[in-house]
């Protein structure tokens, strides 16, 4: 099994779930976990799918949306 790695930091659970929907539609498994920061939520994907997941998020989000990368 491939390790889960950081894909993005979402501002809240709703935003993280939107990212998960994008990833699910692209056929990529993901999970979310509460970050050490107060409201932030980390979106994780399998290491083998990281590049594909980044491409899927970039292709399906608005240019003004902020997605932090590790």
Q: Domain locations in the chain?
A: 4-60
**Residue 7: its H or E element:** strand 4-10
CA dist., res. 7 & res. 51, Å (int): 9
User: From its phi and psi, is residue 27 left (phi > 0), alpha (psi between -120 and 50) or beta?
Assistant: left
Instruction: Give the global pTM.
Output: 0.80
* CATH class held by domain 4-60: alpha beta
Q: What is the mean pLDDT of each run of 10 residues along the chain (70 residues)?
A: 89 92 95 83 96 90 54
What pLDDT shows up at residue 1? 64
What pLDDT shows up at residue 63? 54
């Amino acid at each position: 099994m491939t390790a889960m790695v950081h894909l993005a930091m979402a501002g809240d659970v709703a935003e993280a779930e939107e990212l998960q929907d994008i990833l699910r539609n692209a056929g990529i498994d993901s999970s979310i976990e509460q970050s050490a920061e107060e409201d932030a939520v980390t979106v994780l994907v399998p290491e083998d799918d990281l590049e594909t997941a980044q491409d899927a998020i970039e292709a399906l989000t608005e240019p003004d949306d902020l997605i932090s990368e590790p």
